[in-house]
Amino acid sequence: MSPANHTLPYLLNLILTSISSSSFTPTPFDPGFNITAVAEQAQSLPSHSWEFGTAVQAYLELNSPLLSVFAPTPFPVSNPSSHVPALVYAEQKIILGSGANGLADGDGATGDPASLGVGAVLLGKTDARFASAAASEIDYLMNKAPRWANGAISQRADVPNIWADFMFMAPPFIAFYAADSNDLSLLHEAYSQCGFYREILLFNSNSTSFSPIGTSPTNGLWRHIVGPQGADPGTWSTGNGWAAMGMARVLATLLKAPVSQDKGASCEWCSAAIKDLSSWIKEILDGARASQLDQGLLRNYLDNVSGDGHGFGEISGSAMLAAVAYRMVVHASDMFDETYIAWADGIREVLAGEDSAGNPHVSRDGIVTPAVNPLGWWDTTPWTSGSPEGNNFAVLLYSAWRDCVYASLCKKPPAFKTSGARRSFSVPTPTYLIFGWDVRFTLALFCLLRGLDYCYESW
């Protein structure tokens, strides 16, 4: 059983938009804030390995949506052109090394450099150095990194330590690498890691079998860090965002990996895994949706209404979890109904407005505020000078929303008023028909035959 998904209309609309403007326009719709400025900051703020990795993913989804796993057919990975902005960026930021630092200096982390892994696989299609770096990063994660009692790969290289953050860094890369190399057992490992992490961070258990949904002591909200170093039992909003979006990327990869769809070699575990991942994501989103907001935003510790300063409303977790909601509405619309759209729209609209002091949530310079201190989750002072990850989550939110509009599920917003480049598709449906034949299908067929990159690059 695979969840109903709406990626075909998405593809058609994307192609049509690309044709109606002279080139692909990553920001066709006005979110009420300056997304161009936000995206520029998202690229310039990062200075740590995981921030670079997050920016690569955000840029891929924004500028080259057909290369991201949320595209209708991301596999087989084709040779990306040398003009893909996310890969130009990745090539600058990846520092080839060895062991845990195979793609960047992880400063003792296993997962953080792995966040650059998807970029490395894509670059590896035209540059063997990156292909081999991606392979050794996988080898490190699978065979050398410390593991927790149930087999969860540690986020720290020296001792087994489990962080929700890891979920966005490593499992999506493991899944992507597996899909690209048609390795079904590695794909299974990406899914298992999600389950193992959920056991530890949601159930405080070391089980290798997965607890039923709806049975957690925290109403679905994951703890942040478990282990001997820096344990944080709180339900960190950003951590729940890392976990949910990490699983959404693993799910999208699993849904589209040729090896899981190959009818000859039927995947026995795939449909259960698809159902599990969708439910685990829903569990987090439902927990977040049930949490009391602070001025329209999710709290830094989602359930902390104690007034001790740890529960202030902030943009990082809010933007990421709203992005997850939009993605899931498209990829598993049988489980995620329009109430998830309304919830995500609410957060997006708050970001487009002002805080209680009358300051815009997105500054003129494109800084999205207030965020949690990106290097200090216990800091009770809201961070207003620009969170590298927070700004990138706002880009993920924008792309997820745009793609939900293209999938004809989210309501079509007004296009930018400025004429010229930023045109959105506004052709009424009947004009798609020529002699009763929907030209969109012809175009989609053409792209599928020629390769999607060809279409994307030529428009």
Ligand X SMILES: *[C@@H]1O[C@H](CO)[C@@H](O)[C@H](O)[C@H]1NC(C)=O
Q: Does 234 bind ligand X (CB under 6 A)?
A: yes
Q: How many residues bind ligand X (CB under 6 A)?
A: 17
SS3 content of the chain, % helix, strand, coil (to 5): 50, 5, 45
Other beta carbons within 10 angstroms of residue 343's beta carbon come to 17
Between 172 and 211, how does the x/- string for binding to ligand X read (CB under 6 A)?
Answer: ---------------------------------xx-----
Of 18-26, 43-51, 166-174, 298-306, the window that binds ligand X (rule: CB under 6 A) is 298-306
Q: Which is nearer to ligand X, 6 or 224 (CB)?
A: 224
Segment contacting ligand X (CB under 6 A): 168-176, 255-263, 303-311, 447-455? 303-311
CB of 279 to ligand X, least distance (A): 23
Contact with ligand X (CB under 6 A) among 160, 171, 195, 220? 160
For residue 174, the SS3 value is helix
By CB under 6 A, residue 36 contacts ligand X: yes
Sign of CA dihedral 262, 171, 302, 50: negative
Q: Which residues contact 106 (CB under 8 A, 6 or more apart)?
A: 49, 100, 112, 113, 157
Q: Nearer to ligand X by C-beta: 125 or 422?
A: 422
Four-residue CA torsion sign, 121, 127, 130, 134:
positive
User: DSSP letter at 379?
Assistant: -
CB of 259 to ligand X, least distance (A): 32
In angstroms, the CA 234 to CA 246 distance is 19
Choices 36-44, 134-142, 273-281, 398-406; region in contact with ligand X by CB under 6 A: 36-44
- Give the nearest distance from C-beta 12 to ligand X in angstroms: 29
Coil, helix or strand at residue 313: strand
Q: Collapsing DSSP states into helix, strand and coil, what is residue 237?
A: helix
x/- letters, 418..437, toward ligand X (CB under 6 A): --------------------
Q: Is residue 37 a contact residue for ligand X (CB under 6 A)?
A: yes
268 in contact with ligand X (CB under 6 A): no
Of 83 and 147, which has the nearer Cβ to ligand X? 147
User: Minimum CB separation from ligand X for residue 133, in Å?
Assistant: 30
Residue 329 per-residue DSSP state:
H
Distance separating alpha carbons of residues 62 and 68, to the nearest angstrom = 9
Single out the residue of 306, 419, 429, 431 in contact with ligand X (rule: CB under 6 A).
306
CB atoms within 10 A of CB 446: 12
C-beta of 167 vs 274, nearer to ligand X: 167
Among 143, 185, 308, 357, binds ligand X (CB under 6 A): 308
DSSP 66: G
Could you tell me which of 368, 381, 200 has the C-alpha nearest to residue 300? 381
Find tokens 């209708």 and name the residue.
72
Q: Which DSSP category does 434 fall into? A: E
For the CB of residue 3, give the shortest distance to ligand X in the complex, in Å. 33
Provide CB contacts within 8 A for 211, sequence distance 6+.
Answer: 198, 199, 202, 203, 205
Which one, 13 or 154, has the nearer CB to ligand X? 154
Which residues between 369 and 398 bind ligand X (CB under 6 A)? 378
Rounded to 10 deg, the angle between the 171-180 and 237-256 helix axes is 10
- The phi-psi region of residue 434 (left if phi > 0; otherwise alpha if psi is between -120 and 50; otherwise beta) is beta
- With binding defined as CB under 6 A, does residue 149 bind ligand X? yes
Site string for ligand X, 114-143 (x = CB under 6 A): ------------------------------
What is the binding site for ligand X (CB under 6 A)?
Answer: 34, 36-37, 40, 148-149, 160, 205-206, 234, 301, 304, 306, 308, 310, 366, 378
